Structure 1
Amino acid sequence: MPLTGPALPVRRVRADAREPVDAGAWFARVPAVAQVLRDGWDLGAATVLVGENGAGKSTLVEALAMAFGMGAEGGSTGARGVTRASESALWRHLVLERGAGAAKRGFFLRAETMHGFFTYLEDNPSPADLAFHEMSHGESFLALAEDRMRGRGLYVLDEPESALSFTGSLALLAHLRRLVAGGAQVVLSTHSPVLAALPGARVWEVGGWGLRETRWEETDLVLSWQGFLAGPERYLRRLDAE
């Protein structure tokens, strides 16, 4: 039967039965991670993770990127830049079910390690590299995404909004939308309701319950921002009372 569209680089993430997780591993006690190890996790052409700090979003996208062959601190498949190893061993316990004939290229943009990644690029230059350290924080993030995320492949982003203004977030959203429309796969962890609105994305809310697929407009992220913008004084009074 002919394919109806480009095969996904990663259709599903599941536990590797050959590499059982130690019961004492901290990441196995995170509800979202435990759910993936138990039930697996189906990905779409665009997948968005939202949720509070510490819920497991970054742990999951980091492990996905590493299992695909990307560096823990960001970069393309095969990147080896390391400043301080702090990643979990979760990736060693995962199997990625890939689409037949899918693209093998990928890139991981991780906000918290981008300064070190730019230094890694300076220390290992290629003629086509941009001078990322000479740009503003937000400009460098957008330039990196547009320069390294091209064509079909798996593109993983962890909280890129940390460097971006509202208009910068819209610019990144437009780029991600074009990537997906062109047959790429995007997996995004974010606290930004703008980026979480990636058209056509499967939105997964992460929390004490684990992972649950949710409509964008029904996520706590969107409802909280709507409530605050409609009446910030209510939230400020609550803070004063604490």
Structure 2
Amino acid sequence: MSQDPDAPALPRGAWPGTLAPIAQLLDSGLELGPVTVFVGENGVGKSTLVEAIAGAYGMGPEGGSTGSRHTTRRSESTLTDHLRLTRGLGAGRGGSEPVFHERSHGESFLHLVTARSRYPGLWILDEPASALSFTGSLALIRGLQDILNAGGARVILSTHSPILASLPGAAIYEVGPWGYRPCAWEDLDLVRDWRSFLAAPERYLRHLI
């Protein structure tokens, strides 16, 4: 994925061009593997990257399959208009939608993944662990791995979860004020922080309470 040379240049003095990861994307492009994971703090540009990738593939920024343009309000950036795909991938077509109203948010999400796991294509997930427990996150990894094992699929996700960041075979990019950089799972700030907290939570809590 790279900047579209036929599109007007995105102004770098206005959002989202002021975000270092967005400037890097436009200047250097980004190679998306079969599994690509973005991690980083809030506000660094993870969701903006994911929204732009979804839009470049023809997906609605608020979710849905290819061709879905549902929106409640215009909150996403115009970055999509400045991107070009070097290789395309059609998203799989789902069947009938599961019934969600009798399930929790997390259960509904996992059921959706399970119900559509037989469809190849592109899966783009923006912080899916926000609705999931520890076991739910593990279940999502299993569901995504089933999708990948079926062949013909690509997964792109952003997350604060060290569990989801461990998705086997993922190309992990740590996103921050410097832009984005490839990083091994064990070297992520996210992983080091969680390990440190779980080893001695009192070291953190005494500064808060």
TM-score range (shorter-chain normalised) is: over 0.9
Aligned equivalent of 2:97: 129
- Alpha-carbon separation, structure 1, partners of 2:66 and 2:134: 30
1:237 to 1:40, Cα distance in 2 relative to 1, 3 A: same
Q: CA–CA distance in 2 between the matches of 1:150 and 1:93?
A: 33
Structure 1 residue 25, shift from structure 2 partner: 2.9
1:18 maps to a residue whose letter is D
Partner AA of 1:207 in structure 2 = G
SS at match of 2:157: strand
SS in 2 for 1:212: strand
If the length of structure 1 is used for normalisation, what is the TM-score?
0.81
- Secondary structure (helix, strand or coil) at the match of 2:36 reads strand
**In the alignment, residue 72 of structure 1 is paired with which amino acid?**
P
Which residue does 2:91 correspond to in 1?
A: 105
SS of the equivalent of 2:16 reads: helix
The 1:149–1:22 alpha-carbon spacing in structure 2 relative to 1, beyond 3 Å, is farther
Greater helix fraction, Structure 1 or Structure 2: 1
Superposition map of 1:140-155 within 5 A? 140-155=108-123
Which of 17, 22, 31 is matched with 1:33 structurally?
22
Scaled by the length of structure 2, the TM-score of the pair is 0.93
Residue equivalent to 2:80: 91
Determine the C-alpha separation between the residues in 1 that align with 2:181 and 2:6: 27
Structure 2: 5+ residue runs without aligned partners?
none
Select the residue among 152, 155, 165 that pairs with 1:186. 155
Is 2:10 the partner of 1:21?
yes
Residues paired across the two proteins, number? 207
Aligned-partner residue type, residue 182 of structure 2: E
Residues 121-149 of structure 1 show CA distances to partners (whole Å, capped at 9, x for unaligned) of xxxxx992222133111101111222245
Cα deviation digits, residues 146-174 of structure 1 (max 9, x gap): 22454321110000001000010000011
Runs (4+) off by over 4 Å: none
Q: Which runs of 5 or more residues in structure 1 are unaligned?
A: 1-12, 108-125
1:201 and 2:170 matched: yes
Query: Among the aligned pairs, what percent are the same residue?
Result: 57
Contact 2:117–2:146 (Cα < 8 Å) also in 1: no
Matched with 2:106 is: 138
Q: Is 1:60 the counterpart of 2:60 in the alignment?
A: no
Do structure 1's residue 174 and structure 2's residue 163 form an aligned pair? Answer: no
Aligned to 1:161: 129
AA aligned opposite 1:228 = F
Specify the code of the residue in structure 2 equivalent to 1:152: P
Residue type at the aligned position of 1:42: E
Cα distance in 2, alignment partners of residues 185 and 197 from structure 1: 16
